[in-house]
């Protein structure tokens, strides 16, 4: 079983960021979108982040425009939306594809480690969540309909 630490991604402000920088933390990796029916989950995600970050938890947000074109903005528009609409303070990354030939390599890894419903790999919609333990292993995958609050006990078990 591999880890996420061999991957890097551009942050929302364009900087290369190694996921090894998050070594030792429990992580929730989420593909997000500003114009999705699940967008209000930003509130719950931020609440989880603020509550559990002191214990070694972080959320990594990856904007994605592959589902219903629900993340049409550029990096500055996404950053403004997240900060003004939901006061997001957890790390946000540049827009990525999560499915198909142009999918970010991290998402290829995540999907291979934790299959979806009936063994499928494809991410079905925005706000699919992957839980990562302190060693960088993918331990669970959650559907977009799973609320951030419903994940708290699973996260706390890994902290």
List, for residues 82-109, the tens digit of each pLDDT value: 999 999 999 999 999 999 999 999 999 9
Which among 4, 9, 27, 36 is annotated as catalytic?
Answer: 36
DSSP labels, 13-46: TS-EEEGGGGTTSEEEEEEE-TTSTTTTHHHHHH
pLDDT at 10 over 90: yes
Query: Using one digit for the tens of pLDDT, what is the confidence trace for 109-153?
Result: 999 998 877 777 889 999 999 999 999 999 999 999 999 999 999
Q: Which residues of 31-50 are buried (b: 16+ CB within 10 A; e: fewer)?
A: bbbbebebbebbebbbebbe
pLDDT the model gives residue 116: 75
pLDDT value of position 1? 59
Beginning with the edge strand found earlier in the chain, give each strand of the sheet holding 129-132 in spatial order. 57-63, 26-32, 129-132, 138-142
- The question of whether 82 is a catalytic residue gets the answer no
Q: In whole angstroms, what is the distance from residue 143 CA to residue 59 CA?
A: 16
Q: What is the pLDDT of residue 114?
A: 85
Listed by start position, the domains of the chain span 4-158
* pLDDT of the residue at 121: 83
The helix/strand/coil state of 122 is: coil
User: What is the rounded average pLDDT of the residues 31-45?
Assistant: 95
More confident of the two residues 47 and 116: 47
List the CATH code of the domain at 4-158.
3.40.30.10
Q: Determine the Cα–Cα distance for residues 82 and 60; give it in Å rounded to an integer.
A: 13
CA-based torsion, 94, 4, 159, 114: positive or negative: positive
* N residues, the chain: 159
| Burial tier of 97 (Cβ tally within 10 Å: 0-12, 13-18, 19+) | middle
- Give me the pLDDT at residue 115, please: 82
């Amino acid at each position: 079983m591999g880890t996420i630490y061999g991957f890097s991604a551009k942050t929302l402000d364009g900087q290369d960021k190694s996921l090894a920088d998050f070594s030792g933390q429990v992580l929730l990796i989420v593909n997000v979108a500003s114009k999705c029916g699940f967008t209000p989950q930003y509130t719950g995600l931020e609440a989880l982040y603020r509550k559990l970050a002191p214990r070694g938890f972080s959320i990594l947000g990856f904007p994605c425009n592959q589902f219903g074109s629900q993340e049409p903005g550029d990096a500055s528009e996404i950053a403004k939306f997240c900060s003004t609409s939901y006061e997001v303070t957890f790390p946000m990354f540049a827009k990525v594809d999560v499915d198909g030939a142009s999918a970010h390599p991290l998402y290829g890894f995540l999907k291979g480690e934790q299959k979806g419903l009936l063994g499928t790999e494809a991410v079905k919609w925005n706000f699919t969540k992957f839980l990562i333990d302190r060693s960088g292993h993918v331990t669970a995958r959650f559907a977009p309909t799973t609320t951030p609050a419903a994940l708290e006990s699973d996260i706390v078990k890994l902290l």
